[in-house]
Structure 1
Amino acid sequence: MFRISRVISTVAIILLILLDLLYFLHIWPNSKKIICDEIYFNDTLASILKPRWSGSRGHAEVANFLFEQLNSLGFLAIREELFDQRKYTNILGILNVDATRFLMLTCHYDSKFLPTAPHYVGATDGAVSCAILLNIAKTLNAYLREEFSNRDDIGLVLVFFDGHESTLAVEEDYNSLIGSRRFAQVETIPLLNIEVLITLNLIGAPNHIFLSHFMNTYGLHERLVDIETKLGKSGQLTKCHTLFHKIKDHESDIEDDHYPFLSNGVPSMHIVPHAYPEYWHTQMDNVTNLYWPAIRNMNLILAHFVYEYLQNHEELSSLVHKYSFVLPNGGP
């Protein structure tokens, strides 16, 4: 009798393992081994981590660096210059320019000018997000240049917005969003052609988790959770707390460069932590205080997500739903 019970228990365990395997095969079709280039990421971040408020020498250097990197990675690199009391420059890169729809990944590259902290580099506030976007392009470069190239159903756009930070009253913490407002206003990419927009910000502090902010892209947020779980089970992630959670925080959000697009009905995801980093808008927001396990895992999770979205476009685009969106408190 004991032997029979043991056999039944063994069979049950095997069945659970098989069911688990089938589940992940279902949520991860056409999976591939993706390895992030950590040396490239570190070098990229080092090139961005400098004071770079709009109009500064560091700002021009970072803009040139972003443009050159997009060129070298095979993107059509564009400088979108605009004037609003001073010159601002959005930097964007496009793959498959003739596609009918686009996945658009965005962040801001300018840093805030702080009179009390002239060497403020905004590590979590822009710099890490910029490096992540370029690292996704570098990690997936062979796929993007070969298999993905010349598709007409989906293209990829990376946008590094300028004018995110307020400049007229530098002591204030509100965002001006000059670059993203102008981009949406003139439709640098036609808004109807942006299938989903993903904005990254404030990434790299310890103990932060990432929740869903919008119901119409909750299915994609669930996919991020599933990808993190899969990578964790396969031993590919660095030891760290869980980043993405299937929690709907749809009543709150942090103002960011996705707002001008949201107000025009573009489905959006905001990859931003549940709270501001401890050293936000202080000189302590530097490389010393970054939490590297979370950054490494975020790099890998997002690279897998972008690959999966592009590779299985028809399936994943069906998870995105359109509806008119009202910004919290009426929006900016």
Structure 2
Amino acid sequence: MVFLTALAPVAALYVLATTAAAYSTVSYETLESFPSPGDEFDIKKGSILAPILRPRVSGTEGNVAVRQHLVDFIKTQLPDWTIELHNSTSITPVSKGKEVPFVNIIATRDPPNVKTGDVGRLALVAHYDSKLTPEGFIGATDSAAPCAMILHAARSIDKALTKKWEAMGDDLDGLDEPKGVQLLFLDGEEAFVSWSDTDSLYGARALAQDWETSFHPATSTYQTPLDSIDLFVLLDLLGAANPVVPSYFKTTHWAYKHMAVLEHRMREKGLFKSSPNHASKLKMRNNKKRAEPYFLVDSEKADHGDFIGGGIADDHIPFMMRGVEILHMIPTPFPNQWHEKEDDGEHLHMESVEDWTRLVTAFTAEWMELEGHFDLKEQRRAALDEKSEFMIP
């Protein structure tokens, strides 16, 4: 991606955020029960994150290995999700006239017995390729950590989805607006030489173009797979300390405020590990509180305020150009290690990584209206035992 160009109280934020769309708030009890990634995000041996922390330039063995890891996780940990690989090829500035393969991973979970064209989806999106230069570039924030966040969030809400839809039974047929979740792991976001309209966003451009002309049956609620995306949530450059994420788009500011409410609520309850007021840090300072920093800094921006949505080129662009609504979770300014060799596992701020994971999980749970469908006792046990059975040998 490249550049192209005092917070409100929780109660007030809640009122603002609930005015835009029907939305089901999750309780504090549910927020507290979400499992931590724990050992699964260990940068050396963690089952989710560690396999992504390697060079993975499109068309290379590293890229193939990371893609296989993502697919294997979905197949083993999310067996009720459908997986599709979207293939395309393109000549790049360094391929000497040869076509380079780009493979997008699409994982989808829709309500059972509802036709594909009748389901609107929340899309959680990150790119899984890495930059060609500097040599050996890992891209931990860009975007290994976001990929790991999405995998963990999907698994955290998966059983609740099953429980909700099983409880509804035949009532699913009467849903006014059936909702599903889609994971998009996009290939070829990075430029091989210098960012341009043709040397960047290879996978995103190909997928958006194909989906624009892939039509659902004429009687469907949504005309194409692009139309089926109710909200495209793009995670990028997340995992450094003290991120500042503005609200970039006026039309999705309501969704941004929903996520901001969740951040405020979780900080208020001491659930953010990166907070200077987390219990573990307050104890060392004799319970003296400090000013609370926020990831989402535009929570009180007016809906008619100024928005800078066109200022950053990223994987959302080909979708936005075709009318898809975008919620872009990317910090401004970019992390100091952006496109530097230091963007590796050792430079991740793991407390922030875990906090973003919890925030994305909670946002997805609210979007899918899952309150009351989580097994809180089971999740508490999982939260206490952070050692995963899905570990690298």
Residue type matched to 1:59 in 2? N
Deviates more, 1:94-103 or 1:53-62: 94-103
Give the alignment's Cα RMSD to 1 decimal: 2.6
Paired residues of 1:67 and 1:92 also in contact (CA < 8 A): no
SS in 2 for 1:250: coil
SS in 2 for 1:70: helix
Q: 4+ residue runs of structure 1 moved beyond 4 angstroms?
A: 148-152
1:88 aligns with 2:123: no
Shift of 1:39: 2.4
In the alignment, which residue of structure 1 is the partner of 2:388? none
Shift of 1:293: 2.0
Count of aligned pairs? 289
Question: Relative CO higher for 1 or 2, CA cutoff 8 Å, sep ≥ 6?
Answer: 2
User: What are the within-5 Å matches in structure 2 for residues 26-175 of structure 1?
Assistant: 29-31=25-27, 32=30, 33-42=33-42, 43=46, 44-72=48-76, 73-74=78-79, 75-84=81-90, 85-96=99-110, 98=116, 99-114=118-133, 117-148=134-165, 153-167=178-192, 170=193, 172-174=194-196
State the TM-score, normalized to the length of structure 2: 0.68
Paired residues of 1:41 and 1:132 also in contact (CA < 8 A): no
More helix by share: 1
Shift of 1:280: 1.1
1:211 aligns with 2:269: no
Paired residues of 1:37 and 1:139 also in contact (CA < 8 A): no
In the alignment, which residue of structure 2 is the partner of 1:200? 235
Q: Distance in 2 between matches of 1:28 and 1:236?
A: 20
User: What are the within-5 Å matches in structure 2 for residues 210-249 of structure 1?
Assistant: 210-240=245-275, 241-245=293-297, 246=299, 247=301
Q: Distance in 2 between matches of 1:37 and 1:164?
A: 26
In the alignment, which residue of structure 1 is the partner of 2:349? 291
Shift of 1:148: 4.6
Q: Distance in 2 between matches of 1:57 and 1:268?
A: 32
One of 190, 205, 211 as aligned partner of 1:181: 205
Shift of 1:254: 1.5
Q: Distance in 1 between matches of 2:25 and 2:228?
A: 26
Q: Distance in 2 between matches of 1:226 and 1:28?
A: 13
In the alignment, which residue of structure 1 is the partner of 2:368? 310
Shift of 1:218: 0.4
Residue type matched to 1:61 in 2? A
Question: Unpaired runs of 5+ in structure 1?
Answer: 1-16, 314-332
State the TM-score, normalized to the length of structure 1: 0.80
Question: Unpaired runs of 5+ in structure 2?
Answer: 1-8, 91-98, 215-223, 276-292, 372-393
